[in-house]
Amino acid sequence: MQTILISFIISTILTPIIIKIAHQRNWLAHPTKNRWHSKPTALFGGIGIFLSIAIPMFWITDLSELFKMLNAQNGVVQQMPHLSAVLLAGMCFVFMLGLLDDFFQIRPHSKLVGQFIAALFVTFAGYRLNWSLSLTLDTMLTIVWIVGMTNAFNLLDNMDGLCAGAGLSSALALAFLYQTHSPEIAMIAFIIAGAMGGFLVYNFNPAKIFMGDCGSLTIGFSLSVLILYYSPRQDANISFAVYVVPVLIFIVPIIDTTLVTVVRILSGRKAYIGGKDHTSHRLVLSGFSERGAVLVLYGIGFISGLAALFVNTHDRFTSPVVIIPILVIVVLLAGYLAQVRVYPENEYCLLKGRRFTPFLENLTHKRQIFLVLLDFCIISFSYYLSYRIRFQGANFSFYFQIFLQSLPPIIAAKFLAFFMTGVYKGMFKQISISDVRTLLNGTVLASMICIVVMTYIYRFEDFSKGIFIIDWFFTTGMVFGTRVSFRIFSDSLQRKNCAVIVFSYMVRGVAVKSFCVK
C-alpha cells in the first residue's frame, strides 16, 4: 500500500512541472471540430504518468532476469523472467511509441505494428492468457488482448479525466485481486493506481493537461499485461472466473471501444479517427454535464471491479448474482445511448441501397432491440434469483442443474408470452394505464405458460410452485422498472433544453404542446 502513496506523490510533483514546460514551449492541444475540449490545454501528461510508474518499478525490479532471457542460447528461455521486468521493458517501448506519435503523428498502421511488437515480446517471455487447451490459440488471443486493450484505453482518452479514472479503477481492482496470493504483482498495480490518482488531480474536469498517446498507450499496455498473471493461477479445467474477471475489470474501455467501432463502421467512418461519438459524448448530449458523464462511467468501472473481486472468490453457482446485474446495466446503458444521434441520418453511407439497411439502423437507433436483450437478462436473472432464494444451502448444487436444464424453455416461453401480449409494440415514452396492463398481462401469461411447459416436459418433478411465484414478482418488477427508467431518462435529460412559450388559441395551443411533448 505504500507504493501507491509513493507513485501518487511523484505524479503530483511531476505533472505541474510538465504543465509549465508545455505552456512555455507551446506544447498545447488546440480545439478542433473532432475534439471535445474548448480551450488550449497542455500536452504530454503521459510523461509524468510513465515516470511515476517507472521510477518505483525500477527499484523493485530485477532486470538481470530479462537480460538472461535476451541472451538465452539457441533462443531457448530456461526460466521465465519476473512479470515486473517484462512489464517495465514493454512499457518503456510503448511509451516511446506513444511519444513519437504525439510529436510526429505517425501513421495508425505503424503504431499498430509497434503495439504488436510489444505484445509479441510479452508472449515470448512466457506470459499468456490461459483461456483454452491450445498454447498456440492462447498466444494469439494474448496478442489480440494486449493490442486491443492498449487501443481501447487510447480511444477512451476522449474527455477530461475519463481515461485516468478508468485506469485507476482497473488498477485498484487488479491490486486487490492479487493482494492475497501475489503481493508483488499487487504492488505494481498499486503503483499504477497511484500514478493515475496523482495525474487525475490535474486532468479531471476542467483539465489542465492531457496525457496524450504516450500516457494512454502506457496505461492500456500495463494493465492488459498485469491481468495475464491471473490466468496461470487457475486449475487445468480453466475456471469460470478466468473469462469473466478480465472483462469485468476492463468493462468501461470494452464498452466504449465496441460502441465507437461498430457505429463508426456502420456510418462509413474510419474507426481509428477521433470524433465526438464516444460513450462519454453521448451521455453529455443526453443531458449530463461533462463531470456527470465521467462520474457515471467511473461508477460503472468501480462497481464492475467489485463484481470481479466477488466472482474471483465465489463459485459458478453464486457468481451470476453479480454478473447478470452488470450485464443488465450495460444493456440498459446501450439502450439509452442508442437514442442519441451523433451522426446525420444520411451519413450511413455504407448502408445505402442495402436490403439490411433498415435492420442495421434499428440496431443502432431503435429501442426494441435493446428491450429484447434486456428482457433476456431480466428473465435469466429473475429465474436464477428465485432458485437462489427458494433452495439455499448444500442442496442448491443439485437444483442448479435443474435450473440450467429448464432455463432455455423458460426463456422461450416468456418471450412467446411477451410477444403475444404486445409488450414490444409500444415505445413506452409515455407510461399509461394501458401500458401497465400490457406488462402485467405479459408477465402473468408468461408464468402460466412456464408452469404448463415445465409440467409437460418434466412432469413438474423437482420443481416448486414457490419458484414461479418468486420469479413472477422479480420479473414484473424489473420489466416494469426498466420501462419506467426510459421515461425518466427522457424526461430528466433529453428535455433539458431552452424553454418555449406558445401564444395561440386554445385548440391550436394544445395541438402545439402535444406535438412538442411527443
CA atoms lying within 13 Å on the CB side of residue 107:
3
In which band, very low, low, confident or very high, does the pLDDT at 356 lie, cut at 50, 70 and 90?
very low
When pLDDT is averaged across residues 66-77 and rounded to a whole number, the result is 64
- Please give the helix or strand (H or E) that residue 188 lies within, else none: helix 183-203
Burial 413-435 (b: 16+ CB within 10 A, else e): bbbebbeebebbebebeebeeeb
Q: Is 213 annotated as a binding residue?
A: yes
C-alpha cell at 168: 485507476
Least confident of 239-253, 291-305, 426-440, 485-499: 485-499
How high is the pLDDT of residue 234?
47
- For residues 307 and 296, what is the distance between their CA atoms, to the nearest angstrom? 17
Of 174, 176, 284, nearest to 226 (Cα)? 174
- For residues 191 and 87, what is the distance between their CA atoms, to the nearest angstrom? 13
Contacts of 274 (CB under 8 A, 6+ apart): 34, 35, 158
Least confident of 115-129, 237-251, 346-360: 346-360
Least confident of 320-334, 380-394, 462-476, 478-492: 478-492
Q: Average pLDDT of the chain? A: 84
When pLDDT is averaged across residues 204-213 and rounded to a whole number, the result is 92
Per-residue pLDDT reduced to its tens digit, 269-305: 676 676 777 899 888 888 888 999 999 999 999 999 9
Do 404 and 387 contact (CB within 8 A), yes or no?
no
Q: Is 154 annotated as a binding residue?
A: yes
Contacts of 313 (CB under 8 A, 6+ apart): none
- For residues 178 and 175, what is the distance between their CA atoms, to the nearest angstrom? 5
Catalogue the E-assigned strands of 83-214. Answer: none
When pLDDT is averaged across residues 357-369 and rounded to a whole number, the result is 55
| DSSP code string of 369-435 | HHHHHHHHHHHHHHHHHHHHHHS-GGGHHHHHHHHHHHHHHHHHHHHHHHHHHTTTT---SS--HHH
> Helix 45-60 to helix 83-104 angle, to the nearest 10 degrees?
160
Do 95 and 46 contact (CB within 8 A), yes or no?
yes
- For residues 312 and 309, what is the distance between their CA atoms, to the nearest angstrom? 5
When pLDDT is averaged across residues 430-442 and rounded to a whole number, the result is 83
Query: What is the DSSP secondary structure assignment for residue 89, as one 8-state letter?
Result: H
pTM assigned to the model: 0.82
How high is the pLDDT of residue 190?
97
Say how many C-beta atoms besides its own lie within 10 A of residue 496's C-beta.
Answer: 10
How high is the pLDDT of residue 316?
76
Dihedral of alpha carbons 470, 472, 473, 475, sign: positive
